[in-house]
Amino acid sequence: MKAGRPSFLLAAAVLSLGACGQPPEAPAEARSAIVPSQTSRAGPGATLAASDGAGLGLVRSGHPMNLPRAAHAASLLADGEVLVTGGFGNADSSYTETAELFDPVSGQFELTGSLSVPRCCHSSTLLEDGRVLVAGGFNGQYLDDAEIYDPATGIFTPTGRLTTPRMDHVAVRLDDGQVLLVGGVGPGWTFLASAELYDPSTGLFTPTGAMAVARESMTATRLLDGRVLIAGGHRGRHSQIVIYDSAEVYEPVRGAFAATGSMNVRRHKHDAVLLPDGRVLISGGSDETDDRNAYASTEMYDPTTGAFAVGPDMPSVRYKHIGTSLAMSDGRILLAGGAEEAVMYDPTRDTFRVVPGRMGTASLSRLFSTATRLNDGRALITGGYGIGQDMTDGTWMYVP
């Protein structure tokens, strides 16, 4: 392996990636004999309608991307195309500067302009004017550079530099059009509590208030009132890892974070999505044992009370799926990453159901994939890997 590169252990297949570069926690031979513990199994609320696919649509294979990718990023453009950027995926775990566009009419991928540098574990945020901010990441170095993709030209152009290099951070566009970037990991594998704002009108990054604790592998969800919920995550590595049940809320008016209620379970590498009624669905994740104890559990955050309540269990465990839970036009939530199957959550019934169709053969598949809801109601799932599976150029389409 090359110096300065995270310890992605690759043989015939990827064994286990941590939070985009965290070394594996157990060797493959040990993992092959692992049976999920009781906390990983679906509860009774998840099995009531798990096998009934009526009215759920289906997931089917799509045209492949131009190269395999994991820990990449995807953004829906104003014209309905999807921009896919960076990631890693070659046999030597090298990073790529390539980007490609998905055409929802033809179903094909076509290469577009390249990033200025290879990067994975970066953020990709659609701006109000239709351009896309690609920021930070890792390519053997922790990156503080950012660039703007202009769909009109198909070209990436450098913009201001981050106040600190960061990868595995979260990024959210605020109501005023600025982009909030939070936490992640910096040089020397330093876990970051800092946050910063990108102003598209000036092209500059400026510091804003910091979190109470440093976090990686957390989620960020913009609430209906414009605040941003940061939930869970971890700091530290191996025996020093600390996984949080705590959460914080960023208040744009004050430019500061405030404490809020704690989750019922410590979790990282989970996902979060805003529900139509303003609550936030937190799903899956894991504890210190990573894929050996991935969760089927969920919980709900109520911004009016600041409290988390236990939600129904999913039909199967799911983790490393941040950004792959999608709010559909009918109010239901599609969970498309972190497992071989997609599931649909119905807030009116508070139940999960399995969507017909598979995206892998391992129980934990589509790790570090992307999912993007298209304007016509379909959803595009790209890349990722699975336990015992190489990173893939494969794509899948959820069809209502």
Beta-bridged to residue 61, according to DSSP, are 396
d(CA 163, CA 42): 42
Q: Domain segments of the chain: what residues?
A: 39-399
Instruction: Report whether CATH 2.120.10.80 matches the domain 39-399.
Output: yes
How would you class 190 by CB atoms within 10 Å of its CB: exposed for 0-12, middle for 13-18, buried for 19 or more? middle
Contacts of 345 (CB under 8 A, 6+ apart): 281, 332, 333, 334, 335, 351, 352
Residue 11 scores a pLDDT above 60: no
Tell me what pLDDT residue 54 has. Answer: 76
Contact 314, 283 (CB under 8 A): yes
CA 255 → CA 13, 161, 214, distances in Å? 44, 20, 17
Placement of tokens 């969760």 in the chain: 295
Task: Give mean pLDDT, residues 129-138.
Answer: 98
How would you class 231 by CB atoms within 10 Å of its CB: exposed for 0-12, middle for 13-18, buried for 19 or more? buried
Q: Is 198 helix (H, G, I), strand (E, B) or coil?
A: strand
> Tens digit of pLDDT for each residue in 162-184?
999 999 999 999 999 999 999 99
Tell me what pLDDT residue 34 has. Answer: 23
d(CA 246, CA 174): 22
Cα angle, residue 193 at apex, residues 191 and 198 outer, rounded to 5° = 110
Name the CA dihedral angle for 39, 43, 49, 53, rounded to a multiple of 10 degrees.
0
Binning pLDDT at 50, 70 and 90, where does residue 224 land?
very high
In order, the DSSP letters of 89-140 are -STT--B---EEEE-TTT--EEE-PPPSS--BS-EEEE-TTS-EEEE--BSS
Contact 252, 174 (CB under 8 A): yes
Residue 10 scores a pLDDT above 60: no
d(CA 4, CA 43): 42
> Tens digit of pLDDT for each residue in 276-316?
999 999 999 999 999 999 999 999 999 999 999 999 999 99
Q: Which has the closest alpha carbon to 158: 140, 169, 168, 144? A: 144
Residue 24 scores a pLDDT above 60: no
> Tens digit of pLDDT for each residue in 67-122?
999 999 999 999 999 999 999 986 666 899 999 999 999 999 999 999 999 999 99
- Provide the percentage of residues in the chain whose pLDDT is more than 90: 83
Q: Is the pTM of this model over 0.85?
A: yes
Contacts of 57 (CB under 8 A, 6+ apart): 355, 356, 398, 399, 400
d(CA 166, CA 344): 33
Task: Give mean pLDDT, residues 226-230.
Answer: 98
Contacts of 291 (CB under 8 A, 6+ apart): 16, 25, 31, 34, 319, 364, 387
Residue 38 scores a pLDDT above 60: no
> Tens digit of pLDDT for each residue in 143-165?
999 999 999 999 999 999 999 99
Round the average pLDDT of the chain to a whole number and report it. Answer: 88
C-alpha distance across the termini of the chain, in Å: 43
Strands 325-327 and 333-335: antiparallel
Tell me what pLDDT residue 389 has. Answer: 85
d(CA 240, CA 281): 29
> Tens digit of pLDDT for each residue in 324-356?
999 999 999 999 999 999 999 999 999 999 999
Binning pLDDT at 50, 70 and 90, where does residue 4 land?
very low
Tell me what pLDDT residue 52 has. Answer: 59
- Provide the percentage of residues in the chain whose pLDDT is more than 70: 86
What are the backbone angles phi and psi of residue 240, rounded to the nearest 5°? -95, 5
